[in-house]
Amino acid sequence: MDCLTVAMAKGRIANQAIALLEEAGILFSDFTVKSRKLIFMEDSNSIKLIFVKAVDVPTYVEQGPADIGVIGKDVLLEDPKDVYELLDLVIGKCKLSVAGYPELELNELTQLTVASKYPKIAKLHFEQRGIRTNIIELNGSVELAPLIGLADCIVDIVETGTTLKENGLVVIEDVAEVSARLIVNKASYAMKTERIQKFIADVKSGLEVYS
């Protein structure tokens, strides 16, 4: 029997997700947080876990090499893919927020320069607010942009708020709630329905213990 392939991004979500899978009785005994290995087999060899860059998880699932993916809602909002989103895993909770200096005021008269790893989400958010923007796409350390005059504000993930605080920035307004989601390839769901439903049921039972 083919194994189910699960794509996951390494890092904060992965560590919590592996712990959640353990609660569900899905064990990857040779996984360690520090390992550089990219593929792990579940102890009964029925599930293959592959680690990919976070933004690539939905692509692996949409294209088919992975049947299932574990990915933050932020990535799904920025770049929607043709996949089923079947479960909120409740882990990896954070917010997408507009942040800047405390004195920043947002109104329809403003023309804002906004730096973000999420250019589409940022553009849509300000369009809905009737605020004109020039969006600058960055790939990391986004909080730096207002500090050195590259942007008036940012749209970024806020988890503990430490990065904003240590850089003298504050949340101006929230854009979206984020948590990890379980996504499924549409053809896999049609062809491996029973196994995928069992996997989801196991994860749900793990969630009850984990959360």
Q: Total residues at the site for ligand PRP (CB under 6 A)?
A: 12
Q: Does 141 bind ligand PRP (CB under 6 A)?
A: yes
Measured CA to CA, the distance from residue 161 to residue 32 in angstroms comes to 28
Strand order in the sheet with 111-116: 132-137, 111-116, 153-158, 94-100, 170-178
Residue nearest to ligand PRP (CB): 140
Q: Could you give phi then psi for residue 120, rounded to 5 degrees?
A: -70, -45
Residue choice 161, 171, 176, 195 for contact with ligand PRP (CB under 6 A):
161
Q: Does 15 bind ligand PRP (CB under 6 A)?
A: no
CB of 206 to ligand PRP, least distance (A): 25
Of the chain, the end-to-end C-alpha distance in Å amounts to 32
Residue 77, Cα to own-chain centre: how many angstroms?
9
Identify the three-state secondary structure at position 197: helix
Q: Does 160 bind ligand PRP (CB under 6 A)?
A: yes
| Site residues (CB under 6 A) for ligand PRP, limited to 67-126 | none
Q: Does 157 bind ligand PRP (CB under 6 A)?
A: yes
* Residue 125 CB burial class (10 angstroms; 0-12, 13-18, ≥19): buried
Which of 57-65, 136-144, 183-191, 201-209 is the region at the interface with ligand PRP (rule: CB under 6 A)? 136-144
- If the CB atoms of residues 75 and 158 are measured against ligand PRP, the closer one turns out to be 158
Return residues touching ligand PRP (CB under 6 A).
140-143, 156-163
